[in-house]
Copies of this chain bind each other. A is one copy, B any other.
Amino acid sequence: MSERGITPMKKNYAEWYTDIVLKAELADYAPVRGCMVIRPYGFAIWEAVKAELDRRIKATGVGGKKHRNAYFPLLIPQSLLTKEEEHVEGFSPECAVVTHGGGKALEEPLNIRPTSETIMYKMYAKWIQSWRDLPLLINQWANIVRWELRTRLFLRTLEFLWQEGHTAHATHEEAQEEVLMILNDVYRDFVENVLAIPVVVGRKSEGQKFPGALTTYTLEAMMQDGRALQMGTSHDLGQNFAKAFDVRFQDENGDLQYVWQTSWGVSTRLIGALIMAHSDDKGLVLPPRIAPTRCVVVPIYRTDQREAVTAEARAIESELAGSAVARDAAHSEQAVVLDERDQYKPGWKFAEWELRGVPIRIEIGPKDVAAGKAVLVRRDTGERIDVPRPNLCGAVTEALSAMQEALRRRAEAFLRSRTHRADTLEELAEILDGEGGFVHAPWCGARDCEDAVQEKTRATVRCIPSDAEETDGLPCVACGGEAKWRVPFAKAY
């Protein structure tokens, strides 16, 4: 156990994760099975995620239009949910069902949305008449309920928060452009550059795709225990839902045609990934670009030195709060914090802010005041440097940007170190039973073969990368038939 009672990662990864979530006050177990409370500190991270993604979503689009937000009902009538056959098969078993309202039994049960395709496309059928109404590019931030049996804070909960984009297009080409633009320009850019988590992108196998989609694209990240985590998905829905919901438009020649649709989403699960990708045995490590608090100032003094040190600490806080350190932060009001609490010793405070993953700590004591300097400490490396006071804002800004870059490089190096190749099922199983990671192995593309590998190793095909290596006649690890590509197998959350 560390000072703050966090189980070491190597001792028990799952406990290490839960300890960080609870002790850094990111979330807590709720008095409803499988649900969680997102506490203010965890919610501030989600607000930063929302702000960054919302800006990217609103700034992008296809066909000369941009995405706009809207809000659709929580409750979906049973008759709507069942319209698309694969979709209802996939989601019906996971639904929470409202059977009573206002003290009476309902004539038709209502499902709490497990995703919103059905309720949204019923409206799209009404709103879309002509080619002029296309593309329709709508995003929604909402809560979702899926009746999961095994839950884990942030990673899999009965209720979670997410965004779901739902678009309709005149052509399949434009819909495909949308699906890949969201995957690469919005999600991948955000995950890699803001969350500092490298991902492998590609399409899902038939067995893993979204119920009702033609093709599902995914972003897969590698956690520090060698297991994969799906960060988000972007679906090419083809015309499956358009046909089920009769979403048609009159084209420029006056002919009625079905629209082509897409849907795509990321959720509060990203916070789980963020914790698992960067944190250590002292607690949370947050990339500066997503940290609600970027810098904490801790004064150090004996009682008789209090006044002078506190005055200097306040001056530093106010300078930093007015500088670039706070300016572009999602939470500019808490980007810089001065910890003036008298009841705690500096060492206790250091551990607390380390637990909470604040990227930069500034220590200021009587000797620093006398020497006209301060001490800057980086959360990821623990490195301490003396900085002359006039250079402080610049030094913090630089350290933030260096830490952002360092976290990403470290995560990339980790991903490389956990990326392996295997040519046989035995090799594959051996690596997966060992340190895990992505194991690229030849696969014929058949669902039975994917199932057979999963049976033996508990790993699945995470995706078929767009640049998947050609296998040149190598045998599939499962059936021995001709493999199509080398694809990453991994155990996953």
Contact = CB atoms under 8 A, between A and B. Distances in A.
Contacts of A123: 28, 30-31, 37
B93 A96 contact: no
Interface in A68-83: 68-77, 80
A47 B75 contact: no
A254 interface: no
A71 B101 contact: no
Nearest to A104: B147
Interface stretch (A38-46, A167-175, A188-196, A472-480): A38-46
B333 A58 contact: yes
Contacts of A97: 98-101
A372 to B, nearest CB: 31
A189 B149 CA distance: 47
B59 A138 contact: no
B37 A73 contact: yes
Given A97-B99, A98-B98, A30 B71 contact: no
Nearest to A343: B132
A94 B101 CA distance: 7
B93 A102 contact: yes
Nearest to A68: B40
Interface string A126-140: 110000100000100
A112 interface: yes
Contact of A75 (B38, B127, B145): B145
Contacts of A93: 102-103
B35 A73 contact: yes
Contacts of A339: none
A98 B77 contact: no
Contact of A70 (B39, B103, B122): B39
A37 B69 contact: no
Contact of A40 (B70, B74, B99): B70
A294 to B, nearest CB: 17
Nearest to A75: B32
Interface in A107-157: 109-110, 112, 119, 122-123, 126-127, 132, 138, 142-143, 145, 147, 149
Contacts of A36: 73
A327 interface: no
Main SS of chain A's interface residues? mixed
A143 B143 contact: yes
Contacts of A95: 101-102
A32 B143 contact: no
A65 to B, nearest CB: 11
Tallying the copies of this chain within the complex gives 2
Given A28-B123, A32-B76, A71-B161, A96 B101 contact: yes
A409 interface: no
A100 B111 CA distance: 10
Contacts of A70: 37-40, 43
A71 B38 contact: yes
A206 interface: no
A95 B99 CA distance: 11
A367 interface: no
A29 B149 CA distance: 35
A84 interface: no
Contacts of A159: 73-75
A43 B58 contact: no
A333 B59 contact: yes
Contacts of A74: 74, 112, 143, 145, 159
Interface in A304-336: 333
A-B pairs with lowest CB-CB distance, top 9:
A102-B147, A40-B68, A38-B71, A97-B100, A35-B73, A101-B147, A96-B101, A99-B99, A30-B73
28 contacts: A28-B123, A28-B126, A28-B127, A31-B123, A37-B73, A38-B72, A39-B70, A40-B69, A40-B138, A43-B70, A44-B68, A44-B69, A74-B74, A74-B112, A74-B159, A75-B158, A92-B103, A94-B102, A95-B101, A95-B102, A96-B100, A96-B102, A97-B98, A97-B101, A98-B98, A100-B109, A101-B147, A101-B158
Given A32-B73, A38-B72, A96-B101, 20 more contacts: A30-B73, A31-B77, A31-B122, A32-B75, A32-B77, A35-B75, A37-B70, A38-B70, A40-B69, A40-B70, A46-B71, A74-B112, A75-B96, A93-B103, A96-B98, A97-B100, A99-B99, A102-B147, A102-B149, A143-B143
